Amino acid sequence: MTLFARVLEILRERGAEDMTVFGGGTIPEHDIAELTQMGVARIFTPGASTHAIVDWVQSDLASAASSRT
């Protein structure tokens, strides 16, 4: 909670709110909803495959690119 909150704060301070923040690790289930409300786009919990993460990043990048045009 502390690290994600700080990253989001720094991005806001620098006018970079358009950057997608995501992460993963051993994060309690009840924290995931709060992190989402804070602006974290996606949390990957232990066991998430590298393929699932890469697929999500590619999908997110494609969505971002298409919304800019």
pLDDT digits (tens, 9 = 90+) for 10-68: 999 999 999 999 999 999 999 999 999 999 999 999 999 999 999 999 998 888 778 77
Rounded to two decimals, the pTM is 0.83
Pair of tokens at residue 7:
């990253």
Query: Identity (one letter) of the amino acid at 59?
Result: S
Pair of tokens at residue 58:
């590619």
Helix intervals (H) in 14-49: 29-38
Q: Where are the domains of the chain?
A: 2-68
Averaged pLDDT of the chain: 93
Residues in the chain: 69
23 strand-pairing partners: 43
pLDDT at residue 69, rounded to an integer: 65
pLDDT at residue 9, rounded to an integer: 97
Give the residue carrying structure tokens 């970079």: 16
Q: Which CATH class is domain 2-68?
A: alpha beta
pLDDT at residue 62, rounded to an integer: 86
